[in-house]
Amino acid sequence: MARVALVTGGTRGIGASISAALKAAGYSVASTYGGNDEAAAKFTAETGIGTYKWSVADYDACVDGIARVEADLGPIDVLVNNAGITRDAPFHKMSREQWQEVMDTNLSGVFNMTHPLWPGMRERNFGRVITISSINGQKGQFGQVNYSASKAGDIGFTKALAQEGARHGITVNAICPGYIATEMVMAVPEKVRDSIIASIPVGRLGEPEEIARAVVFLASDDAGFVTGSTMTINGGQYLT
Ligand code: CAA
Ligand code: NAP
């Protein structure tokens, strides 16, 4: 039986590449999204992967959504916490809403998805939890106090939970991508984006597939001894 993988925010950008790469590696894949039905329909037409719509920021919706996925595909072995948003603003202009939306999605969303799946992974003595953090959770970024805090939180979450999963065959890892060519980065003003690219030693943005390949490795049996790690994939922009 194929292992089952769920990718949050799996219909666009990095998540779409992760979903496709996991399918190509033999997993049964479910991809979730938050609201963009058109992108989700296009993704299913192109990949044949089924999609499910709910907000990772809503705990009860996560419980219900996970139950739907498990009824369709079976118990989830691999969780990829990829859904994330930006609400950039310098701190003196940042609203409480901008802070809260980012924390609810990028940090509480990871709790909301992992917590309901954890008992089943413990019972089955196998699981993979892979969370897409960010270079900006490692180094901080002007205009992203909310986002940087949420992504740094994802790293702490990973390091703590890895210690609890280790004896139950569950690995918990984070990936910190640098700037990757998706709509999220294209939303950054062009002048700012150009200066960011100029600061990347390899001289270009990353490609979503370059993150997806790392996820496939972390999900595999070969990665059974890798847990609590923070994998940095950023073209040399920030050396940890
Ligand atoms: N360092 C120092 N100063 C900076 C700066 C920086 N990186 N960026 C802007 N400033 C300065 C400006 O030069 C300006 O200075 P003056 O007042 O002297 O002119 C001042 O800060 C305020 O700038 P603005 O009035 O232009 O501020 P704004 O309200 O328009 O907001 C911003 C600016 C939203 C922060 C904008 O600069 C921006 O979008 N920056 C990019 C932030 C970023 O990197 N986001 C990443 C998105 S992708 C992602 O998050 C994925 C991932 O994980 C990598
Ligand atoms: P993206 O292109 O904007 O796609 C985001 C995906 O997340 C979409 O599928 C979106 O669904 C989904 N999503 C957003 N909020 C959600 C919610 N509340 N509930 C469920 N799904 C939600 O983003 P990306 O650039 O691929 O980024 C993916 C992840 O990588 C994010 O966590 C991001 O922070 C992180 N990251 C990105 C970069 C980068 O440079 N791009 C770098 C480092 C880390 P809809 O389609 O319905 O909106």
**pLDDT tens across 19-42, in order?**
999 999 999 999 999 999 999 999
Average pLDDT rounded to a whole number, residues 146-171: 99
CB of 92 closer than 6 angstroms to any ligand 1 atom: no
Kindly state whether residue 240 falls inside one of the protein's structural domains: no
- Which residue of 6, 43, 82 sits with most ligand 2 atoms within 8 Å of its CB, as the best mutation to test the pocket? 82
Q: What is the pLDDT of residues 179-238, one digit of tens each?
A: 999 999 999 999 999 999 999 999 999 999 999 999 999 999 999 999 999 999 999 999
Average pLDDT rounded to a whole number, residues 83-99: 98
Residue 1: pLDDT above 90? no
Supply the range of the domain harboring residue 190: 4-232
Kindly state whether residue 238 falls inside one of the protein's structural domains: no
User: Which one-letter DSSP state was computed for residue 223?
Assistant: G
Closest C-alpha residue for ligand 2 atom 19: 55
User: Could you give the percent of the chain with pLDDT greater than 90?
Assistant: 99
Query: Which amino acid would we find at residue 159?
Result: K
Cα 196 from Cα 204, distance rounded (Å): 9
CB of 15 closer than 6 angstroms to any ligand 2 atom: yes
Kindly state whether residue 45 falls inside one of the protein's structural domains: yes
Q: Say if residues 70 and 63 touch (Cβ distance below 8 Å).
A: no
- Which residue of 105, 146, 154, 192 sits with most ligand 1 atoms within 8 Å of its CB, as the best mutation to test the pocket? 192
Kindly state whether residue 239 falls inside one of the protein's structural domains: no
Q: Say if residues 225 and 169 touch (Cβ distance below 8 Å).
A: no
Nearest atom, ligand 1, residue 184 CA = 48
Kindly state whether residue 200 falls inside one of the protein's structural domains: yes
Nearest atom, ligand 1, residue 143 CA = 35
List CB contacts of 202: < 8 A, sequence separation 6 or more: 235, 236
Cα 178 from Cα 78, distance rounded (Å): 23
Q: How far is CA 97 from CA 88, 148, 217, in A?
A: 12, 16, 36
Residue 53: CATH number of its domain: 3.40.50.720
Neighbour-count burial for 53-91, b at 16+ CB within 10 Å, e otherwise: ebbbbbbeebeebbeebbeebebbbbbbbbbbbbbbeee
List CB contacts of 63: < 8 A, sequence separation 6 or more: 116
Which helix or strand (DSSP H or E) is residue 9 part of? none
Tell me the catalytic residues: 147
Q: Say if residues 238 and 232 touch (Cβ distance below 8 Å).
A: yes
Kindly state whether residue 220 falls inside one of the protein's structural domains: yes
User: Could you give the percent of the chain with pLDDT greater than 70?
Assistant: 100
Q: Which two tokens stand for residue 63?
A: 């419980």
pLDDT at 167: 97
Q: Give CA 143 to chain center in angstroms.
A: 21
Number of domains in the chain: 1
Residue 191 CA to ligand 1 centre (angstroms): 10
Note the pTM of the prediction, 2 decimals: 0.98
